[in-house]
Chain A
Amino acid sequence: MGGEVIHALRDVSLKINKGEYVAVMGPSGSGKSTLMNLIGALDVPTSGDLVVNGLNLSGQESDTLADFRNLTVGFVFQQFNLLSRTSALENVKLPLFYARHLGSINAGERARKCLQQVGLSDRMHHDPTQLSGGQQQRVAIARALVNQPSVVLADEPTGALDTKTSVEILDLFQQLNDKGITLIVVTHDPEVAEVSRRNLLFRDGRLVDDVSMARR
């Protein structure tokens, strides 16, 4: 709000391949969330090009971006962002509600399968307030998966969870990556950095380190 121009991200040149599991790290304010929001088309870059799944996100119509968010990426937030007073199942069905290209699929069936995948078959009709933090995050993950996206973006998904629950969530991510989904996770947690196969380190809006590891 001051007159000063803030470069949340600058001079970043980066290529992430299909099926990669990438951990994005760096101190607070280094631009990690900004990167995620750009990849997920929640935000648009002031300059530069960003191509995801063959689509250049710069200068696209808002409808094109909406469809991209709907079908290509799945977002997992630190604060879960579930609709309150709406059951887990309905929360998971939400992206299907806006999916125009799917034709006549059975939304309930699809959502139920995703909840099953995250181990919540027995909590489908509970409201978010009746679920633990870990369970809520799993509902959010199921929601991210329901449209079978090619990329899942998670911004500090375990930030609001305790260690034990975090481990469960990370296991879940590992399973997703094993199925071929590209995974980009922002984290402060060295454990996450360990399970991923590539670490990006940001500082002051710049990419300062890019480390790939052999598969353990």
Chain B
Amino acid sequence: MEMFKTISIALVALRLNALRSFLTMLGIIIGIASVIVMVSVSSGSKQEIERAIDRLGSNMLTIRPGTSTTGGRHGGAGSAAPLTEGDITRLKERFGFLEGVSGSLSTSAPVVFGNSNWTTGIIGIHADYIKVRQWVIEEGRNFTDREIRSGAKVALVGQDIIEHLFDGNPSVGERIRIKNVPFTVIGTLQEKGESTFGRSLDDVIFIPISTARMRVSGRSSRGVPDMVGNIYLTVDLNRDIRIAEEELVEFMRELRKLAPGAQDDFSVRNFSEFIRARNETSSTLGLLLAATAAIALVVGGIGIMNIMLVSVTERTREIGLRLAVGARRRDILMQFLVEAVTLCLIGSFFGVVIGVGAGELVQRFSEVPVLLNIPIIFIAIGSAAFVGIFFGFYPARKASLLSPIEALRYE
């Protein structure tokens, strides 16, 4: 007995009861469609998170002065001793695995070019900053160490600055004024887009950190002439970042002469971990939704089982006749099993179409990120086939165990 013929028998049987077949399939259609939508949405947000982490660099750590208490940072950021150039030097000496280290002293100030005027974020940096924060110089060049040390009046500008201040014209070599101090633009930064919080990352100007201390920041640098704000650093990719983080904390405590048991007056943060943790709930939710969808599929499977049992009872005489003309038990088993699986596969086909369609709609008309991956379609179809086999087996077996004479006599 060929499979092809068995499938065609199943199709004929399903067509004879088209409405019933369709209603039975509905459970599978809904189950498969929701599995696909749920998984697409949850893998969409997962991808979004990974992208955010990639943007930050998964091997980057940040050191900030002040306690690590996230909520209502008690004491305030400024109350603890600031981080200094000395800290950076010692970190570099102590840890060979640091790929790049940079301070980051940020403020906001009006910038003037010709008649244009734009208020933007000004960040004082070391040359490593570009590499550590994964910026790319589009035109021109990065700062030299000499420029950093000497407090040169040079600047790197982001794309938003080019647009708003220079009207999109070339800016390298132009002179701008930040807080009335003249700067020469020596390079431009490639576009980065929006941050996870929806703020433009390109609305920024970088200047050497020493220049920032002397000319722009002004405010609290009085007491500590070599403060560096926050420290950003990247560790060698072969190094476990969590271990590096611990070593860093320990070393910083030493540097800041904290007594054992005293609370850290600085914080070391691993941003990629931070983002992952923050999104843990959302991925748990995604999992929960997927589980709900799977339950829908199981309910669909129970519907299949129910209707197959009805079908076996209704067709008892047909089964008796098939047995009487020479069908083996296996043939009858296969006939009903193939019928159940066919029902599920046709259902899963429509489920995939609807699920993919719904995913497209979600993507188009909402902010929710959707990632449709091809494997999930095959997994969905496979699980539908499994549902068909699992829930179709009992009715099919029941049919195959009928005695020919009893089945023929059945009214």
Contact = CB atoms under 8 A, between A and B. Distances in A.
B16 A85 contact: yes
Interface residues of B, number: 22
Interface stretch (A20-28, A69-77, A201-209): A69-77
Given A85-B16, A97-B1, A63 B322 contact: no
A4 B330 CA distance: 35
A81 B326 contact: no
Interface of B: 1, 5, 12, 16, 317-318, 320-331, 403-405, 408
A70 B325 contact: yes
A83 interface: yes
Contact of B324 (A62, A63, A69, A100): A69
B405 A43 contact: yes
B318 A147 contact: no
Contacts of B323: 42, 66, 69
A77 B12 CA distance: 25
Given A67-B326, A99-B326, A81 B321 contact: yes
A42 B328 contact: no
Given A97-B5, A98-B1, A98-B331, A42 B408 contact: yes
B326 A147 contact: yes
Contacts of A100: 1
Contacts of B330: 63
A81 B1 contact: no
A83 B318 contact: yes
Nearest to A41: B404
Contacts of A147: 326
A4 to B, nearest CB: 19
11 contacts: A42-B323, A42-B405, A43-B403, A69-B325, A69-B404, A70-B325, A70-B326, A75-B325, A83-B318, A94-B322, A147-B326
Contacts of A85: 16
B76 to A, nearest CB: 84
Contacts of A37: 405
A84 to B, nearest CB: 9
Interface residues of A, number: 25
A147 B323 CA distance: 15
B322 A98 contact: yes
A66 B1 contact: no
Contacts, number: 62
A98 B404 CA distance: 15
Given A81-B317, A81-B321, A100-B1, A71 B326 contact: yes
A69 B323 CA distance: 8
Given A37-B405, A81-B317, A81-B408, A95 B329 contact: no
A87 B325 CA distance: 17
Contacts of A43: 403-405
Nearest to A146: B325
A71 B321 CA distance: 15
Given A42-B324, A66-B327, A81-B408, 6 more contacts: A40-B324, A43-B405, A70-B327, A77-B408, A86-B12, A100-B1
Contacts of B331: 66, 98
A112 interface: no
Contacts of A32: none
Q: Is the interface of B mostly helix, strand, loop or mixed?
A: helix
Given A81-B321, A83-B318, A98 B327 contact: yes
B321 A69 contact: no
A143 interface: yes
A99 B5 CA distance: 13
B405 A95 contact: no
A55 to B, nearest CB: 14
Contacts of A62: 328-329
B336 to A, nearest CB: 15
A63 B405 CA distance: 16
Contacts of A66: 323, 326-329, 331
Contact of A98 (B16, B318, B328, B403): B328
Contacts of A94: 321-322, 325
A175 B160 CA distance: 99
B326 A75 contact: no
B12 to A, nearest CB: 8
B5 A42 contact: no
A37 B408 CA distance: 11
A70 B327 CA distance: 7
Q: Which of B321, B326, B328, B403 has the largest count of A CB atoms less than 10 A from its CB?
A: B326
A100 B328 CA distance: 10
A100 B326 CA distance: 10
A98 B325 contact: yes
A181 to B, nearest CB: 17
A83 B317 CA distance: 9
A77 B324 CA distance: 11
Nearest to A99: B326
Contacts of B324: 40, 42, 69, 75, 81
A70 B324 CA distance: 8
Contacts of B320: 81
A83 B321 contact: yes
A85 B322 CA distance: 15
A216 B70 CA distance: 112
A44 to B, nearest CB: 9
A38 to B, nearest CB: 10
Nearest to B16: A85
A69 B326 contact: yes
